[in-house]
Amino acid sequence: MTFQEKHVLVVGMGRSGQSIAKLALSEGAKVTCTDLREDAPQMEGCTHVYGLHDRLDFLEVDQIIVSPGVPATQRDLVAAMAAGVPVCGELGLAAARLQAAGVPIVAVTGTNGKSSVTDLTGQLLRQAGKRVFVGGNLGNPLTDAITQADSLDVAVVEVSSYQLELPGGLCPTAAVILNLAPDHLGRHGSMENYAAIKQRIFSRMGPEGLAVIPAKDSSGLLCHGKTAAVQAWLGRGPGVRIEGDLISLQGTPDDGTVDLSGLSLLGAHNRDNAAAAVLLAVCAGAPRSAMNLSQLTALPHRLQPVHDQGGVRWVNDSKATNVDAALVGIAGIGAPMVVLLGGKGKPGADYNRLRPLLQEQARAVICFGASGPEIAQALQGLPVRHASGLGEAVQTAAEIVQPDEVVLLSPACASFDEFSDFEDRGRVFSALARETSP
């Protein structure tokens, strides 16, 4: 499918909306962009309907492309679908185009760790000489890969639950759900619905594909769903498991082991992330013999050491935007620490779950931001201090931290009370850490 001579409505003008609008324009479409934000980005050559949605715009077009920030239950989208207007998510449409061009897709979803596994898989494929696009929910929209299709061997795609509401033609060669923990329940309503949406990643896969879920699922809700793909597991065979310092593959195109001993990434969870990445990379055509895990690097804002001074290490784990991610970050340090928790909490967050690990490993906890008081209340009895925002939290940490300790930002909350996103928060933390002397 191309957009030539079609009237296309793009709903939501974030990065993915801008990318699909540019593509549609380049292929000769008439493009209308709509966004509830009055100050959404202007796209040259497009018609703009900003600050509101006009129902007629949804009913009088040939195709609607939806950005992940817009729920599939949005009433104008529902009306358009009822009227027979084709509605597709940006990632789903891009995936169909790439697959039709012969570019296989490796897809990664889950509550936590999906960005890291996506990036690590891309690194391993590049080690093997593959020409790789890495993106989706991570970084560049998948639509950006369409114009590169002739020069790609594979696309490695992070897929969010928002994107899986309208998965379109997504049909991965290999796909994994890493885990499932309470998150985005304000949009999805329940853990059961959240799990069902995640499992859509397997729904179009054929018998040549590999569908992977964790052997140990703390939610008890994950399954392979209705898929024709070969089933595999994280933590047992067929699939991948860790045995000491070896990653062991079974039921893959290149069964055997990969040395894990040289991995330098912080935290036991990164050993699991590396194992998942090895499995996916092998399924995408990378031989085990080409893999050197000692060369793998971490993404920014994920247990990223950003400053060392006076025996104190400052670690940026700003991507820990929910309680489960913060638990992983705190457990990954392995040293006495001062932990910074706070931001804009998510619906249903249970901060009391942090208590046992903080009691064991944290000498002090600093709660900041919009949800700081709620977190402090949940952690009553622990050595908790209060700060109005991240700047005050960093200053307090610098005053109380001791040599041979770590200051860890692993906030367990979204960033939207002070910052545009977790990356913005992480950059500010890193700059403040370098400016602040303990």
Q: Catalogue the active-site residues.
A: 114, 137, 184
The order of strands in the sheet holding 105-109 is 132-136, 154-158, 105-109, 174-177, 210-214, 230-234, 239-243, 246-250, 256-259
Residues 6 or more apart whose CB falls under 8 angstroms from that of 139 comprise: none
Is 24 in contact with 88 (CB distance < 8 Å)? no
The bridge status of strand 30-35 relative to strand 47-50 is parallel
Whole-number Å distance between alpha carbons of 394 and 390: 6
Whole-number Å distance between alpha carbons of 98 and 313: 43
Angstrom distances, CA of residue 283 to CA of 159, 236, 264, 298, 337: 18, 16, 24, 22, 39
Q: Which of 254, 242, 338 is nearest to 290 (CA)?
A: 254
Residues 6 or more apart whose CB falls under 8 angstroms from that of 329 comprise: 267, 303, 317, 320, 408, 410
Q: Which of 72, 137, 68, 144 is nearest to 109 (CA)?
A: 137
Residues 6 or more apart whose CB falls under 8 angstroms from that of 250 comprise: 237, 238, 239, 240, 241
Is 38 in contact with 23 (CB distance < 8 Å)? no
Is 437 in contact with 400 (CB distance < 8 Å)? no
Is 37 in contact with 103 (CB distance < 8 Å)? no
b/e 87-103 (16+ beta carbons within 10 angstroms → b): bbbbbbbbbbbbbeeeb
Phi first, then psi, for residue 359 (nearest 5°) are -60, -35
3-state secondary structure of 171: coil
Q: Which residues pair with 239 in a beta bridge?
A: 233, 250
The CB density around residue 336, as the number of other CB atoms within 10 Å, is 14
Q: Which helix (H) or strand (E) holds 252?
A: none
